[in-house]
Structure 1
Amino acid sequence: MMLLLPSLLCALAGYVSAFLVETATLTDLYPPLWKDCPSQFSDYKVEDGVYTIDPWLYPERMGMYKILITFTAKYFERFGPNNEENILWGLPLQHGWQFKSGRLTDPTNVTDCGRKNGDHMCISVNSWWACMNYNLCVLPFLGAIEAGALGISSDQVTLLPPPKDQMHFCYDVTTCRSSFPDAMTKWNTFFQQAKNLSKTLDDLLSDLWIAHVATLKATKNIFRNRIQYYSKPELDFEKSWTTAMDYVAAMCFETTLTKTYKFQMALPPRLLNSGDQPFLIKDFTDSQNRLLYLLNLLYETDDNSGHKFLHLFKNVMKSKILRKIAKFAMEQVILNYDIILQELISKI
């Protein structure tokens, strides 16, 4: 297992080997419809000083991320200009990829929610991806409000419920703290630490990933029934993606704008269909096929070891030096345009 660790680490880094792209401005990297989404609380409906947000509409949910990114810019300006080094960018970029790849649509096909020829901006409560993302939007957003990072009080925001399964979601600071106390506490801690100018980017990344993993842990069992709506390849991807987050978190992957954007270029650009197999999906790029293969490999390794491999990986990644080496290895693979799939498989 120890011999497998460095090979798997470098192999997992291989999914970003084709990521370096030329971009005119940072705005080219922003999520879909970013400029059209709310950027301040006054862009939402307000009554008696309470802002009402519908997180089941893509622009309104993305607007929550946009406010989060905008209001926390001052905490990350010491790390780089133009808010590019804000490590919260990973959240809206992930949501934007879900929207663009069709993963927020109704997988039951009962409604036209999320479909281009239907209610395109709708986010379906039947979507596993949409429901998992809900808490990765709402909890950091409300956690930031609770921590005093967004300039309003905890009783000034309420969220509208979905058309069904309302009991599975929380809608304001009070109900979210009651339903997800551990995750809310960890998000509150992250934003409190972000205010501390003595904290390094590595310190804040650690706190961010702790909160992220706590949110997924509290959420994943609630929406397990949603997986029945997907093809086996998409289901396998969902399971392997969730597992991979534990490993990415252990590495303290830098979720800045540029690095997250480059990473996401290797994500599947559409829902996977029955018959889709890594290496053989013709409308996917080499890096997208490679990522699916590596994620499946990581999932199988983790599962077959009874999660002992994850425990080992976490112990290794406790070393700041080894984390730096791991990140350096990833950067080297990113710059290596000559790496090919067959060589990657051979190394594994």
Structure 2
Amino acid sequence: MLRLTALSIVLALAVSLTSAAVILENGMPILWAQTASQVTELPIQNGIVTPDPWHFLNRMSLYRLMIAATDPFMGSMGPTATENPMWGLPLQLGWMLTSGRLADPTGTTTCGHQTGDTMCISPESWWGCVNYFASAIPFLSAAQQGFMGDQVQVLMQVPAGVEGYCTTYASCAAQYPDVISKWDAFFQALKAAADSPLPDNEKKDSLLGLYWVAQMASTYASAACNARQSYYSSAEVSFANSWLNSAEYIAAAHFQSNFEKSVAFITPLPGRILQEGDSAPNIADMTQEENHTANTHTLTHSCININTIVSAMCSVTTREKGREMLEQLLLNPSYATSSFLSIVTGMTTSLHNTGLG
């Protein structure tokens, strides 16, 4: 199941040559049909599940398995089959692949490049490293909490000579205890939600809150990847940092990163690694949408104080309003950043005046 067909290899090569990143194939995340639909389809040695998170299909499989395992507990998210907030993760990973961000940035190997194994995720890639904290570690937590079956043991493979990545639940709990505890709390809350008497909108808001707390714990821990930014241009580093910073606002709003909304948010992201001299919104070989997204990420990184956002997003109602504003800011080129700032500031002032903030 995890072997690439010749057609998929051609597809992977083709999309890597285009400017705009391709994140969908037949209406699903890129190469989704080539991933594991059962835990038993992952590599297994001596009864232990041993995924290779440095192979794109294996890492994407972790997401497919987590989404399938958690879907039965996501009833409060909405009526369709794609409301699970974890859909944002595989779509994001697909963008990283097709935009070339998972390839070896040092140029010393062909990992992830057209001249080598296009499915290889380089341990030297900053993007691949950051994503490890949002893929391998959540999967280890999900398995520990019983979502992959009873007493399933998991050991992540690691390339020879590569150090610093935790590979088991125990080692990740020791190395990154806050990350593991936050993901454990989210998965435990999912199971408990079935018996919760809360109305669906409050249940949904609570679960999304725990989900984003876990996501942000992974993001903070990924500071361990920072040295890898030296392999990229100043333009790419600036975009990468603003991309990380945008997660703060999305998390504060308890954004529901379901399939549809995640496609809308990820599709306009820059379809290639930014080079020295690239200056959004005037990058010649990028679309208007890519330029807008790259520019908006930079503006929000430099202009918006996260404390202001957090202060405003202190209730179910204000978070719902915040989610609407974020969608406008990131997807509507005519929606000025100043409009977003003034509305958030007004919300914060009003809440403080009424004693609700």
Closer, same or farther: CA 331–216 of 1 in aligned 2, 3 Å: closer
Contact 1:190 1:207 in 2 (8 A): yes
Among 96, 99, 102, the alignment partner of 1:101 is 99
Report the residue type matching 2:239 in the other structure.
F
Deviations 1:24-71 (A, max 9, x none): xx9744221001011212112223321111111000111111111111
Among 201, 210, 217, the alignment partner of 2:220 is 217
- Could you tell me which residue of structure 1 aligns to residue 168 of structure 2? 172
Deviations 1:151-183 (A, max 9, x none): 1425x21111133332x1111111111111111
- Could you tell me which residue of structure 2 aligns to residue 317 of structure 1? 313
C-alpha distance in 1 between matches for 2:69 and 2:234: 40
| SS of aligned partner of 1:89 | helix
- Could you tell me which residue of structure 1 aligns to residue 66 of structure 2? 68
- Could you tell me which residue of structure 1 aligns to residue 353 of structure 2? none
Contact 1:183 1:218 in 2 (8 A): yes
C-alpha distance in 2 between matches for 1:103 and 1:163: 21
Contact 1:29 1:258 in 2 (8 A): no
C-alpha distance in 2 between matches for 1:286 and 1:47: 49
Among 277, 280, 284, the alignment partner of 2:279 is 277
Report the residue type matching 1:204 in the other structure.
L
Q: Equivalent residues in 2 for 1:111-122 (5 A)? A: 111-122=109-120
Superposed CA RMSD in Å reads: 2.2
Report the residue type matching 1:41 in the other structure.
V
Say whether 1:84 aligns with 2:78.
Answer: no
Deviations 1:259-298 (A, max 9, x none): 1111111211111111111011122222221121121122
- Structure 1: segments with no counterpart, 5+ residues: 1-25, 303-308
| SS of aligned partner of 1:159 | coil
| SS of aligned partner of 1:294 | helix
Among 156, 167, 178, the alignment partner of 1:159 is 156
- Could you tell me which residue of structure 1 aligns to residue 336 of structure 2? 344
- Structure 2: segments with no counterpart, 5+ residues: 1-23, 342-357
Say whether 1:301 aligns with 2:293.
Answer: no
C-alpha distance in 1 between matches for 2:143 and 2:136: 11
- Could you tell me which residue of structure 1 aligns to residue 348 of structure 2? none
| SS of aligned partner of 2:135 | helix
Say whether 1:201 aligns with 2:193.
Answer: no
Alignment length (residue pairs): 310
| SS of aligned partner of 2:336 | helix
| SS of aligned partner of 1:216 | helix
Moved more, 121-130 or 46-55: 46-55
Closer, same or farther: CA 272–312 of 1 in aligned 2, 3 Å: same
Query: % of aligned pairs identical?
Result: 35
- Could you tell me which residue of structure 1 aligns to residue 125 of structure 2? 127
Contact 2:250 2:323 in 1 (8 A): no
Among 230, 238, 244, the alignment partner of 1:228 is 230
Could you say which structure has the greater relative contact order, defined with CA pairs below 8 angstroms and 6 or more residues apart? 1
Closer, same or farther: CA 331–345 of 1 in aligned 2, 3 Å: closer
Contact 1:213 1:249 in 2 (8 A): yes
Contact 1:125 1:163 in 2 (8 A): no
C-alpha distance in 1 between matches for 2:128 and 2:30: 16
TM-score, structure 2 as length reference: 0.81
Closer, same or farther: CA 335–244 of 1 in aligned 2, 3 Å: closer
1:77: Cα distance to partner?
Answer: 4.1
